[in-house]
Structures are given as C-alpha cells and as structure tokens.
C-alpha cells in the first residue's frame, strides 16, 4: 500500500515534535525509521495509524486520508507497544479476537499460527496464562504475531526487537523479509539499532528532533554507512583537558 505524508506536524504545548514536509512510501517498500530517543519515530507511526491528531497536514494510505476514512484499517496490521494487547485474555483468545476483527475464522487463525511456532516455542500457546502473566519478551512476540497474522497489506512495528533474545530477533527479521518478498507487504519498522535494519530495509530514514535529516534509498552510497557515521559522531566523548 502506498503512503503519502504531506506537511505533517505534531506539537505538544506549542513544542514541535514532528515536522515532515513530504514523504512518499511506495507499495511494497520496507522502510526503516531510525533515530535517538525523542526523535519522533513513535509519533510518526501513531500519526500514520490515526492514533493521535496531527497539528497540521495529513497522512494518506492508498489515497485515503487516515482521519477521514476507515477502509485502510482492514488492510493494516500494527503493534507499537504493550497497550495494543488485552491483558486479561490468553494468547489464544487474543489471536482469535484479533482474527475475528479481520474476518478470520478460528480455524483460519489456527492454520496461520503454524507459521509462527518457531517464534513462540512452547512458552505462549497452551500455557493457560493470561497475556498479563507473560514475560515482557513473550508479550512482545504476541503483539508482533497478532499484527502479522492477518496478512496485512501494510504493517507497522515500533521497536519490534525490544525484549527479544537473539534467536527471536533473527526469526522476526526473517518473517518481515518473507512478508515483504512473498506478499509485497509495505512495512514501516522503527529501531534504535541500525544493525537490525541492515540487510532488511529497502530504505532508511533518519529522524532528528522530528525532522528527516537523511533518506537512504536502495543503491545509494554504502547504504547505512552514512547513518552509522552520524551516530558515531554523536557518540564521541569530549576530550579531557
């Protein structure tokens, strides 16, 4: 699905936290959004999902302004944080509930869950635990799986590698690559860690203080080297006199 961002601004108490004059995301693009804390990554994703109101400008998904239409929602999967989960449900109940919202039967949900068993292991299904009783890492897995399970045309994930062990991180990375390659899913993924974006994203934007200061596209010089150099400069300590 195509995304068009135009003159998008968000302010809190007259303080700007996001200012994107224009951004076009093509169908099937796998866009990485990287930046330090407070750069505006989560704000950008929340505006795309119409979870918060823009101070100015708009976001279009498939030529529909997100704040004026609901049609795009049935084609979109997302997981930004634990607030997307329902703690008093078991993982199975949550998957069935989420599937029903998207028109999937329980049988279809069960069938699709097979693909995600390597990520779940034996710690999520069949444990009789409520989501609120799961470890932080397993809650993260439940949210990611629920977002992918519906086979959306557009997938948004905010820091999906947080709280995951190295094996699970690689599984998620492979799943994202598979969804993008095989289904043409448009994916927006934010991360603090540029290594998680290397070899996965077809394009990476760098946010600083709510503005896009770099837009690295396929085939451009050394791919993520420019962004690595940016963070290396920021990480340098002052010299002692």
**What pLDDT is recorded for position 220?**
62
| Residue 151, CA distances (Å) to 148, 165, 170, 178 in order | 6, 24, 20, 11
Give first-to-last CA distance, the chain, whole Å.
54
Whether 120 is covered by a domain: the verdict is yes
Q: Domain of 187?
A: 3-235
Model confidence over 169-196: pLDDT tens digits? 999 999 999 999 999 999 999 998 888 8
**What pLDDT is recorded for position 78?**
98
Whether 217 is covered by a domain: the verdict is yes
pTM confidence score = 0.92
Whether 241 is covered by a domain: the verdict is no
The number of folded domains in the chain is: 1
Whether 240 is covered by a domain: the verdict is no
> Domain of 206: which CATH number?
3.40.50.300
Nearest to 180 by CA among 202, 205, 159, 210: 202
What's the burial of 82, exposed, middle or buried (CB within 10 Å: 0-12/13-18/19+)?
A: middle
Q: Which residues of the chain have pLDDT under 50?
A: none
Mean pLDDT (the chain) is 92
Tokens representing residue 154 in the block: 């557009």
């Amino acid at each position: 699905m195509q995304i068009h961002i135009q003159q998008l601004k968000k302010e809190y108490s007259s303080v700007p936290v996001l200012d994107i004059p224009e951004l076009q995301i093509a169908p099937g693009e796998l866009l990485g959004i990287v930046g330090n804390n407070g750069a505006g990554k989560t704000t950008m994703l929340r505006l795309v999902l119409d979870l918060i109101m823009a101070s100015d400008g708009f976001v279009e998904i498939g030529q529909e302004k997100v704040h004026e239409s609901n049609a795009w929602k049935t084609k979109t999967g997302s997981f930004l944080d634990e607030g997307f989960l329902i703690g008093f449900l078991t993982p199975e109940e949550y998957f069935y509930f989420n599937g029903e919202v998207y028109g999937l039967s329980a049988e279809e949900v069960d069938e699709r869950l097979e693909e995600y068993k390597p990520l779940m292991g034996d710690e999520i299904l069949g444990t009789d635990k409520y989501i609120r009783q799961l470890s932080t890492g397993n809650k993260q897995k439940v949210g990611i799986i629920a977002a992918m399970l519906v086979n959306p045309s557009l997938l948004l994930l905010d820091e999906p590698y947080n709280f995951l062990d190295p094996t699970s991180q690689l599984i998620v990375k492979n799943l994202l690559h598979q969804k993008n390659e095989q289904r043409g899913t448009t994916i927006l993924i934010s991360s603090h860690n540029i290594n998680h974006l290397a070899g996965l994203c077809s394009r990476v934007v760098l946010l600083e203080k709510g503005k896009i200061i770099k837009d690295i596209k396929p085939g451009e010089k050394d791919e993520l080297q420019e962004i690595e150099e940016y963070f290396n400069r920021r990480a340098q300590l002052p010299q002692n006199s």
